[in-house]
Chain A
Amino acid sequence: MPDAPGLELIRGEIEQDHPGAVLDTSFDRDQPALVVDPAQIVAVLSWLRDAPGQGYTFLSSLHAADYLPAEPRFGVHYELLNRDRVERLRVKAMLADPGQGQTPQPRVLSHGEGGLVASPGQTPPPHPPPAEGKELLPEIDSCVELFPTAEFQEREVFDFFGIVFTGHPDLRRILLPDDYVGWPQRRDFPVGGEPVTFTYNERNYG
């Protein structure tokens, strides 16, 4: 692992080639992390991969986290690995949510008059959905060109967080069904409340 001063050195070197790309650094629990401007993420990742003396050529993992209620809310994490020096480095890109409060509510079952009926969310969303009916999603550039391993992992992040990776060759849902509505790993998406489509329920309460 680069230690805390080593991390600042990396930051300084990136600053020379890509001014303003690194917004912050953190060294928490012995794990170094660079917080990077999302607009320059591909430039920073390719610099870390290709610049002499860096050699972070292996992307171990790409995942996202929802830091709600912090702002900006989403973090896309790139766990880079230098296999020669056995060093890990986390690169984080923080993304704001452009469609605040416009997340479609999941369908929940309520005991209405005709038995179990599916209804939209129990509380109305605080803001009306945009008129075009197009959901606003956070966007970041895809790094599949640099690290082909990111293909499935970016699709997974899109599937669960609704983060759009522009330039991804095939950005579809990967684990959830294609017609699924909502982004279930976001923190404001409740656990449970999914209607279970047993044939018995379909027949009797359809």
Chain B
Amino acid sequence: MAEIAPAGANLETEVMTINIGPHHPATHGVLRLVVDLEGEIVRDLKPVIGYVHTGIEKSCEDKSYWKVIPFVERMDYVSYFFQMEAFCGAVERLVGLEIPPRAKYLRTIFLELNRIHSHLVWLGTTALDLGAISMLWYCFRERDKILDLFEMATGQRMHTRYFQVGGVIEDIPLGFEAKLREFIADMPVRVGQYQDLLDRNEVFLSRTKGTGIVPRERLLELGVTGPLLRAAGEPWDLRKAFDYLAYPEMDFKVPVGTVGDNYDRYRVRVAEMVESVRIVEQALDGLPEGPFIADDRKYVLPPRSELSTSMESLIHHFKLVTEGYRVEAGEVYYAIESPRGELGCYLLADGSAKPARVHIRDASFVNLQAFKDMSVGTYVADMICSLGMLDPILGGVDR
């Protein structure tokens, strides 16, 4: 029989290794954490990933360029429009295809709606981890409105395959604009309500303020981008830094934090939602008339109506849906600002109709390296909070 420790013995000297996950609601996906605990304090932490690795990058090498789009969408399943933009934009840069202005604006609208959607999923689930259960219902109510908009324009609520190489597959339908304007008017009010619920909530404040701080220099060394970096006071946003889509014409602010704790991370993302609404509104106001997809028949499907009248269109259509288009050998790296940071697509073409390498630089994968710095030396409860604020999507981490 084991000896029972006498009362008052120092129980904190033993370091215990605990396994959290892979199936744990607080890990936001299939993430396993091997944690060394001394009492309640985290002494070491190793994330173990790969549980939802599906070999998407390898599968993409076996598909013609236009068939890769639905594959890459399924990597980071919360920000599917961003994956599509990273891939389609990389192909467009590879073949030198300019997309029409209307397509740029439409893409911008859907990307920013997707950013709000992604932040809503993050806010709902993270607040749920911290005990604010009602937040989940409120956030998912607004998220559903965004999904309704996606469904109206694209036919699908998730994984829409809406962006095509050269533009978007269809113009927005009648009635979409009115519905979107309703959402634009509604959303800032809702964000204000979220802030009212959380900003003076004692439990939420005491769990987020001052926890999970990593210095800005260390974040940069670790390659962390996106809201995590901005919360530490670094105003780095690829939408401002690089010229892509309609962002140069948009007037928006880049919210930054001061301390870099979990509370700043929350504030930055919530402020970003409001800025995204502003971008959507400006893009909708300034939506140019004209074609929504490029007119290059070597890369873009001809309109359905032409197929019954034009032999040439029929041939193009046949070529595009069977072999696809061949891309001259070359390589590009194209990066955009996803809700989690820099989302890059590296594409290598070998002259055939299939890509020789598709690599997605996923922001969650890189950001996850900062998790150890965020958590070591803090309480287990703060570690859970930091993980929520890190917002990793394991589908994107594992690909």
Contact = CB atoms under 8 A, between A and B. Distances in A.
Interface string B240-270: 0110000000000000000000000000000
Contacts of B368: 152
Contacts of B331: 28, 31, 65
Interface stretch (A5-13, A56-64, A126-134, A198-206): A56-64
Given A29-B93, A148-B222, A175-B50, A60 B242 contact: no
Contacts of B242: 86
A174 B50 contact: yes
A28 B398 CA distance: 30
A153 interface: yes
Interface in B144-193: none
Given A57-B220, A148-B222, A149-B221, A63 B61 contact: no
Given A77-B346, A86-B241, A176-B50, A59 B55 contact: no
A60 B59 contact: no
Contacts of A29: 93-94, 96, 330, 332
Contact of B356 (A88, A148, A187, A191): A187
Contacts of B93: 29-30
Interface in B200-235: 220-224
B342 A184 contact: no
Contacts of A184: 55, 58
Contacts of A97: none
B155 to A, nearest CB: 29
B379 interface: no
B71 interface: no
Contact of B366 (A30, A57, A86, A153): A153
Majority SS at the chain B contact face: mixed
Contact of B335 (A60, A150, A156, A189): A60
A60 B223 contact: yes
A18 interface: no
Contacts of B223: 58-60, 147-150
B330 A149 contact: no
A37 interface: no
Given A90-B333, A152-B368, A175 B53 contact: yes
B83 to A, nearest CB: 15
Contact of A65 (B62, B222, B356): B356
Interface string A50-87: 00000001111101011100000000010100010010
B365 A152 contact: yes
* Chain A interface residue bracket vs B: 35 or more
B361 interface: yes
Given A77-B346, A148-B369, A152-B365, A61 B333 contact: yes
Contacts of B57: 160, 185
B330 A28 contact: yes
Contacts of B89: none
B348 interface: yes
B101 interface: no
A176 B53 contact: yes
Given A28-B330, A29-B332, A177-B50, A61 B62 contact: no
Given A63-B346, A77-B346, A176-B53, A58 B220 contact: yes
A174 B369 contact: no
Contacts of A88: 333
Interface in A118-177: 147-153, 156, 160, 173-177
Contact of B58 (A77, A149, A191): A191
B302 interface: no
B344 interface: yes
B336 to A, nearest CB: 12
Contacts of B220: 57-58
4 interchain residue pairs of minimum CB distance: A149-B223, A61-B361, A175-B50, A175-B53
Interface of B: 49-50, 53, 55, 57-59, 61-62, 93-94, 96, 220-224, 236, 241-242, 330-333, 335, 342, 344, 346, 348, 356-357, 359, 361, 365-366, 368-369, 398-399
